[in-house]
Chain A
Amino acid sequence: MTKIVVVTSGKGGVGKTTTSAALATGLAMRGHKTTVIDFDVGLRNLDLIMGCERRVVYDLVNVINGDANLKQGLIKDKRVENLFILPASQTRDKDALTQEGVEKVLNGLRDMEMEYVICDSPAGIEKGALMAAYFADEAIVVTNPEVSSVRDSDRILGILSSKTRKAEQGEGDIPARLLLTRYSPERVDRGEMLSVGDVQEILAVDLLGVIPESQAVLNASNSGAPVILDLESDAGLAYADAVARFIGEERPHRFLTAAKKGLFGRLFGG
């Protein structure tokens, strides 16, 4: 049984691709056969975050158009077993995505007995985002704790409740969960950022996890290794927790409060 998960947000730059990469890697590390697909046709990024940019031959649009078969398009991750990447095309635009084409790719992945397919949605509410979400069984909405991101996430939640295949077929809303990224408890305390509680109150959805603002995320992107591989970092640990919750384990939320500075921290302004 293949579960198709869309990672979406509405707003750009909030951490969809970072999250898709971390989630897919985390699931594969736990032994689940997983593919992560970059739906951001024209603005390909996932391959960089996954560190496979030098091995891209074919892409999603090639597979949709039949220029390559699915096995040729998939890039096998070198670090983690059971993990595959299907990159986006950089030379096309979102109109190259068709519903039939996307369905064909997803059916192909079902035939390969993938347990999870993570669809990394582009920003916006146009065709690319709609295509990424259409066949989803479940959604993860990535949000930053600031008002414009929250509003866009709200918009996306509304779209998810009407524009997926399940919604169209009358099977109701797909389950959607919130992943709050770039969270800085210090800034929340200073009143510069919305708190988890504020965001949850506005969006009224379950919380999958809170990822703290962290230099590790930037380092991970630069080095092409998903941040979840860095289990020394708070962001890596927070993503590992989120993956555990995603597959049904109970994990308390952490990194929600500002770390108290110790004596040395205070002395040296740590």
Chain B
Amino acid sequence: MTVSIEEKASFEFKGRMLMATVLYLKDLDSRSLHQQISQRLEDAAQWLLDAPVVVDVAHPEEASQVELLTAVDTLRGLGVNLVALARHPELDDQVAAMLGLGSINLANGRDVARSEPPARTGNSKSAPAAAEDTLVVEQPVRSGQQVYARGDLIVLAPVSTGAELLAEGNIHIYNTLRGRALAGVRGNEAARIFCQDLDAELVSIAGHYRVAEDLPDAYRRKPVQMSLDGDAMCFADLMGKS
């Protein structure tokens, strides 16, 4: 038998889950950015200063480096805690390094690059996603698992506490939702969440979210659809007329 001598390691790797806010920049004009963000910060959004923020650019193919630099400078000047840039083919880790930021692949290992910018036709009520982007999941989504759909997401099995559903379009759950469901993650405010049995930790549409504690009791453990009306999340009985 061999004798092993344990050495004290001076470091260790720790995998930790980290909540970060994604700041989705629809355009890079630093003046309007400054004005709108400073106003938003005044409106009590202290979390924006505390949370690590990942910058995602809506139109990476149109973003010039100068625009990016000024936008990042503007945000830093306002005290936003920028940590990384969302990776796109045009915005790789070299661009991020030039901005003094890390580079993060936002879509959990998937290629987030899209050939066309997301449709944002303000008054259209339908989800922007094409039908072929619909993802159907038949297996239970377990705690710690994350499912990302570039269009609509349909789940036929239970979604456990600690699991996370993300979709750029709508989310349908024909079972119990105990985890998190985030629809319209790229800013589509027309996205909806449909679920057969609402017992969620968190639901969110286009960044407007409700945690379990804030879910209306009348809709708990019921078939519910959720949609946005302005900044407010609306709940409706899925079986009744909404």
Q: Using CB atoms and an 8 Å cutoff, list the residues of chain A in contact with chain B.
A: 58, 62, 65, 67-68, 91-92, 151-152, 154-155, 157-159, 161, 173, 201-204
A126 to chain B, nearest CB (A): 9
Residue of B with least CB distance to A172: B139
B158-A62 in contact (CB<8A): no
CA distance A151 to B145 in the complex (A): 12
Contact A92 B4 (CB under 8 A): yes
With A151-B160, A154-B160, A204-B158 given, is the CB distance from A161 to B142 under 8 Å?
yes
The reply to whether A158 and B161 contact each other, CB–CB distance below 8 Å, is no
A135 smallest CB distance to B (angstroms): 21
Check B139–A154 contact: CB distance below 8 A. Answer: no
Other A-B pairs, 15, CB within 8 Å; known A58-B1, A65-B2, A154-B160: A62-B1, A62-B2, A91-B4, A151-B143, A151-B161, A152-B143, A154-B143, A155-B142, A155-B144, A158-B145, A158-B160, A158-B163, A161-B139, A202-B160, A204-B140
**A58 to B1, alpha carbons, bound, how many Å?**
8
Which residue of the partner chain, among B1, B140, B178, contacts A157 with CB atoms under 8 Å?
Answer: B140
Give the chain B neighbours of A202 by CB distance below 8 A.
Answer: 158, 160, 178
- Minimum CB–CB distance from B180 to chain A (whole Å) comes to 14
A65 neighbours in B (Cβ, 8 Å): 2
Q: How many A-B residue pairs have CB under 8 A?
A: 46
Q: Which residues of A contact B157 (CB under 8 A)?
A: 204
Chain B: which residue is nearest A162 at the CB level?
B145
A151 with B4, Cβ < 8 A, contacts A157-B142, A202-B178 known: no
B144 touches A159 (CB 8 A): yes
Nearest CB in chain B: distance from A43 CB, A: 15
Given A62-B1, A91-B4, answer yes or no on A158-B158 (Cβ-Cβ < 8 Å): no
Question: Is B187's CB within 8 Å of the partner chain A?
Answer: no
**A34 CA to B238 CA, complexed, in Å:** 53
Closest-by-CB residue of A relative to B162 is A151
Distance between B137 CB and nearest chain A CB, rounded to angstroms: 12
B142 to chain A: closest residue by CB: A158
Report B-chain residues with C-beta under 8 Å of the C-beta of A201: 158, 176
- Give the residues in chain A near B143, CB-CB below 8 Å: 151-152, 154-155, 158
Complexed CA–CA distance, A159 and B140 (Å): 12
The 6 tightest CB contacts between A and B, nearest first, are: A158-B142, A154-B143, A155-B143, A158-B145, A155-B144, A154-B160
Shortest CB distance B62–A (Å): 37
In the assembled complex, the CB of B88 is this many whole angstroms from the nearest CB of chain A, namely 26
Residue of A nearest to B144 (CB): A155
Specify the chain B residue showing the minimal Cβ separation from A57: B1
Please give, as numbers and ranges, the residues of chain B lying within 8 Å of A157 by CB-CB distance. Answer: 140, 142
Q: List 15 A–B pairs whose Cβ atoms lie within 8 Å, in order of A's numbering.
A: A62-B1, A65-B2, A151-B161, A154-B142, A154-B143, A154-B162, A155-B142, A155-B143, A155-B144, A158-B142, A159-B144, A201-B158, A202-B160, A202-B178, A203-B140
* Interfacial chain A residues near B2, Cβ < 8 Å: 62, 65, 67
B160 nearest CB neighbor, chain A only: A154
Interchain nearest-CB distance for B163 vs A (Å): 8
- Min CB gap A91→B, angstroms: 6
CB contact between B161 and one of A58, A154, A173 (< 8 Å): that residue: A154
Contacts of A154 in B (CB 8 A): 142-143, 160-162
Tell me the bound Cα distance from A173 to B157 in angstroms.
Answer: 15
Minimal Cβ-Cβ distance residue in A for B141: A158
In the assembly, what is the distance between CA of A159 and CA of B143, in Å? 9
- What's the minimum C-beta distance from B139 to chain A, rounded to whole angstroms? 7
Which B residues from 37 to 83 make CB contacts under 8 A with A?
none
